[in-house]
């Protein structure tokens, strides 16, 4: 897996960011601390992938009338949704992008309720820019913490190993000392 990541790097991130941008941003932030990715390039790729994903969800909603019938969404319910999205599109899209589980459903609904695409895209771009930056920073902070913790865990592991070896040495010396029979 690591070989694939090192070989394809940014090309691999694009489809992953389309599917789940925020989680990929955290993982990539962690990998930035390990010098696998350039922070600026990975940020740009994640934002672009997230925006492409938002566009795909909008398109699915905009062109998926049959899908809505499958989920038993009546025209009456659709009218209520359209009304809500036209008056509160920013709030609805922000909630859709930030609350996991609601995510793609809200974005598909924005398309189905025919929120003007430019307005939808503008809102998604702003949210993606901010959200991706925050998630990348979280990944970087976790990555730095991991490196520091790893360093100290190495010290503790080395110390514990020395203590165990000293205990074993003492037991060995006491057990096999000439003329002394020590039992454990």
pLDDT in tens, 3-20: 777 788 889 899 988 888
Q: What is the pLDDT of residues 22-51, one digit of tens each?
A: 888 988 998 898 888 999 999 999 999 999
- CB burial string 84-102: b at 16+ within 10 A, e below: ebeeebeebbbebbeeeee
Structure tokens that stand for 102 in this block: 């609601």
Across 22-149, the runs of DSSP E, i.e. the strands, are none
Which ranges in the chain belong to alpha helices (H)? Answer: 2-33, 39-63, 65-70, 75-98, 103-112, 117-175
pTM of the model: 0.72
Cα–Cα nearest to 6, from 28, 29, 36, 46: 36
């Amino acid at each position: 897996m690591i070989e694939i990541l090192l070989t394809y790097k940014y090309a691999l991130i694009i489809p992953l960011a389309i599917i789940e941008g925020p989680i990929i941003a955290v993982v990539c932030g962690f990998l930035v601390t390990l010098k696998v990715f350039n922070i600026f390039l990975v940020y740009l790729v994640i934002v672009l992938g997230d925006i492409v994903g938002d566009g795909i969800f909008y398109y699915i909603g905009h062109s998926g009338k049959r899908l809505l019938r499958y989920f038993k969404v009546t025209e009456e319910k659709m009218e209520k949704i359209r009304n809500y999205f036209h008056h509160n599109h920013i709030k609805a899209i922000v909630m859709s992008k930030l609350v996991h589980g609601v995510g793609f459903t809200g974005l598909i609904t924005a398309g189905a309720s025919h929120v003007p695409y430019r307005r939808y895209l503008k809102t998604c771009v702003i949210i993606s820019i901010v959200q991706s930056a925050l998630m990348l920073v979280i990944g970087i902070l976790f990555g730095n913490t991991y490196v520091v913790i790893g360093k100290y865990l190495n010290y503790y592991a080395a110390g514990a190993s020395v203590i165990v070896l000293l205990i074993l040495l003492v037991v060995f010396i006491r057990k096999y000392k000439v003329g002394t029979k020590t039992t454990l």
